[in-house]
Chains A and B, each alone.
Chain A
Amino acid sequence: MSGKYSVEMNGINKSFGGVHALKNVSVRFCPGEIHSLVGENGAGKSTLIKILSGMYVKDSGELRIHGETVHAKSVFEMKQKGVDVIYQEFALAPDCTVAENIYMSHLAGADRHFINWKQLNRQTKELIESIGFDIDPREAVGDLSVAYQQIVEIAKALSADVDILVLDEPTAVLSPYETEKLFKILKELREKGMTIIYISHRMEDVLELSDRITVLRDGENVAEYRRGEADVSQLVTMMMGRDPGAFYPKREHVEIGEEVFRAEGLNRGFKVQDVSFFVRSGEVLGIAGLLGGGKTESVRIAYGADPGRCGGIYIEGKPCKINSPYAAQKQGINYLSESRKDDGVLLDLSIIENITLSNMRAVQKGIFIDRKKELRTVKGLAEKFTVKCRDVRDPVASLSGGNQQKVSIAKSLFAPTKVLILDEPTRGIDVGAKVEVYHIINELAAQGMAVILVSSEIEEITGMCDRVVVMGAGTVRGELKGSEITKQRILELSAAEAGGGH
């Protein structure tokens, strides 16, 4: 019986301090199957995976690989057993070549002393071709697109005879086209008899791909479905333990007002070519398109964050010169960065210090910070934006991704705001937090703010926006309004003549 499963985890328990992260969780994974783990942030998915990868040691329970009980205490040991995890943040050396990265641990050839570059590069090329891609083995990994970096990660796992492959949120940074390619590879690997464990917040992806789905909630295994047994709303309800209500909450009818912000003729090399858009008060404007289509680059030029040529910025019809975020903020424009960790929040600083940063004047008394007023203000905001935290004086790093994002939104809004640009505001955050972010967006629009929502998630665009600008290859491909906003129309426009490649 036990020969049937490649991985058996029986009655696993794990605590951190007083927090019981996993409570008696049992899951079994079969070879030749794609098995998804879903759950909100903090449900225990990562902990479970880290135990499987050897990064954490379980408190109690049993772990069997191919029927054999394992007491591994290191990642190295688990790799020897054929388990490899591809994390959201890749473990690649950006300045090394593709071949060097893939064969990092065993660069030397048969004689075990010297590197045979010709052989190494040929071997790499064959390996990558075997999963249907063509990447130059001598190219530096840092020069590849994120999608191709992921292919390198997969190839690296395959080079080490891995037969149990775990992917943690692999499609978060991929465009729909690239996602499709990744799925094709995963399905091929499944045919070859690999065990694939897939973790994702994107329910559509999970349902399309998985043969089996395990739902975790609060460290417990609450449900298991086979293909076709569950739909999105069932999964989400199971994950949250309650009915989430409408996933994309409908906005009460808002009178869309005058034009507040207009950017004309944005340019930056090939990445952004003559892009123009405008947004009115009370309106949610979507900017949709594939990854690398120039969405983020365009709004960052308009905000003054990146260099680039700009034909003109008009605030309420009046021309303005915006050449820095400082200048943009003076005009009431605020921007939420796509990359929370790179330039969104300040992880080491407290929630208070993060939120008030953009407008300290509001909590100042003379030249000094009025700490009491600051604390009071931030506590109010944390409540308003439903930030779940122990204390607003805690560092932002102690929060979950979704709550970090809410702090980031509160921070962007702390300075007076007429136009809010949200760049991928729900990337990598769990379903519950997503819905909360959507509610915040609706509320802001209802108050008459102009909101620009930049997103690669098409469902989010179709669910939230009044009007959509679709971008592709650095240009505006078209504009959709009202009932024209459908998944199909957006895909058609964004993917038109964009064949793929890097």
Chain B
Amino acid sequence: MSEKTTGRKQAAIQWLKDNNTYLILLVMIIVSAVISNNFLTAKNLGNLVKQNSIKGMLAMGMLLIIMTGDIDLSVGSLTGASNVLAAVALTDWSMGAGTAIFLAIGVSAAMGIVNGFFIVYRKLPAFIVTLAMMTIARGFAYLWSGGRPISVSDPVLTGIKQSEFLGLPPYVWFFVIIFAIMFAALRYVPYGRIIKAIGSNEQAVRLAGIRVNRYRFSIYVITGLLCGLAGVCSVGRIGSASPLLGEGYEMDAISMVVIGGASLSGGKGDTLKTLAGIFIIGMIGNIMNLMNVSAYWQHVIQGVIILAAIILQVQTGKKQDR
């Protein structure tokens, strides 16, 4: 009898530990609602979604990469490069909107292919390869733009922001679709299962007769595509392109995924929790802006929250070892 209740109690504690991301999100929503009257308004929640959809795309790619136990530092620069390329192709090279978008996303995907080639087929560490790509892609963003911001008034691109459906612009819907695909892929399709397995024990997966390299390579291409899309969307959203765009996005994307319970050593990760992670990171900025807290403090607090989330998760892991 008493064993049964303690068992149930333990199960409840375990559940809370496994789902601490949701718990953090819930606490943040409550705190935000209490300290600011403007937080729970439709307008602000809409802004929150809009502000984080683009970074969310990067986080989805980052989730795949972190699940295999690697990391990608170049996502911010790839986004920057593709956002500049789309604008330059439209204005300076007077291409059509379709061609420009296709080119920008294609070049970003190509950079992902280069990442994947060196990491998977040349067996170089992902950290170093993507660090190099981060600098290279940022360099191209400056070269193509000449270092200046470029404003864009093309109707197709600005349409990404304006033509709303159910009160939300297309780029938010792009993110929703990407999220839905990722959610299904990781939970119900062998592809996702194998990505997780590779992060857990790559050699064992290889010996099970699976072509591990193809899977690993594919995630860098997917991430490149997502960065390209994010870049193009942000041109439409802001109405201009800047070579500075995307600086620090890689760190935000990593934070979102890690707060979402993924382990940097791979084999663990969840789409829904990553979504919670995206909003946790996003809300920090949002609520601070509502409260008129200086941007400098925002950095400090974001760091503290990441640290807190990780402490919780690592403690959980330790308990499970016993």
Contacts and interface: CB of A to CB of B under 8 A. Distances in A.
Contact of A325 (B10, B189, B196, B206): B206
B122 interface: no
Contact of A326 (B193, B197, B210): B210
Interface stretch (A74-82, A221-229, A346-354, A455-463): A346-354
B211 interface: yes
B206 A305 contact: yes
A324 B211 contact: yes
Contacts of A415: 208-209
Interface in B192-237: 193-194, 196-197, 200-201, 203-211
Q: Is the interface of B mostly helix, strand, loop or mixed?
A: helix
Interface residues of A, number: 35
B209 A348 contact: no
A412 B209 CA distance: 9
Given A16-B322, A348-B267, A369-B189, A353 B197 contact: yes
B197 A329 contact: no
A343 B194 contact: no
Given A18-B3, A357-B194, A346 B189 contact: no
A336 to B, nearest CB: 9
Contacts of B188: 368-369, 371
A337 B207 contact: yes
Interface string A175-203: 00000000000000000000000000000
Interface in A127-149: none
Given A348-B200, A349-B196, A349-B197, A364 B190 contact: yes
A178 to B, nearest CB: 26
Nearest to A353: B193
Contacts of B190: 360-361, 364, 369
Nearest to A368: B188
B55 interface: no
A348 B193 contact: no
Contacts of B268: 348
A114 B184 CA distance: 60
Interface residues of B, number: 25
B207 A335 contact: yes
A343 B207 contact: yes
Contacts, number: 81
B208 A357 contact: yes
Interface string A338-368: 0000111111110001000110110010011
Contacts of A368: 184, 188-189
Contacts of A35: none
Tell me which of B7, B206, B207, B211 has the highest count of chain A C-beta atoms within 10 A of its own C-beta.
B207
A411 interface: yes
B89 to A, nearest CB: 35
Nearest to A330: B209
Interface in B163-207: 184, 188-190, 193-194, 196-197, 200-201, 203-207
Contacts of B197: 346, 349, 353, 357
B69 to A, nearest CB: 12
Nearest to A334: B209
A328 interface: yes
A337 B209 contact: no
Contacts of A371: 188
A342 B203 contact: yes
Nearest to A363: B190
Contacts of A361: 190
A415 B322 CA distance: 34
A329 B189 contact: no
A343 B203 contact: yes
Contacts of A325: 206-210
Nearest to A340: B204
Interface in B234-269: 267-268
Nearest to B267: A348
B173 to A, nearest CB: 23
A329 B206 CA distance: 11
Contacts of A347: 200-201
A411 B193 contact: no
A192 B210 CA distance: 54
Contacts of A17: 10
Tell me which of A18, A305, A326, A347 has the highest count of chain B C-beta atoms within 10 A of its own C-beta.
A326
Contacts of A369: 188-190, 193
Contact of B210 (A345, A357, A364): A357
Contacts of B193: 353, 357, 360, 369
B321 to A, nearest CB: 9
B81 to A, nearest CB: 33
Interface in A405-430: 411-412, 415
A357 B322 contact: no
A411 B209 CA distance: 11
Nearest to A18: B3
B200 to A, nearest CB: 4
A218 to B, nearest CB: 19
A307 to B, nearest CB: 13
A411 B204 CA distance: 11
B12 to A, nearest CB: 15
A415 B207 CA distance: 12
Interface string A318-330: 0000001110111
B209 A358 contact: yes
A305 B206 CA distance: 8
Interface in A295-339: 303, 305, 324-326, 328-330, 334-335, 337
A305 B10 CA distance: 43
Contacts of B7: 18
B200 A346 contact: yes
7 contacts: A344-B207, A346-B200, A346-B267, A349-B200, A357-B193, A358-B209, A364-B190
Interface of A: 16-18, 303, 305, 324-326, 328-330, 334-335, 337, 342-349, 353, 357-358, 360-361, 364, 367-369, 371, 411-412, 415
Closest 3 CB pairs of A and B: A329-B209, A343-B203, A360-B190
Given A325-B206, A326-B211, A346-B205, 8 more contacts: A326-B209, A349-B267, A357-B193, A358-B210, A368-B184, A369-B188, A369-B190, A369-B193
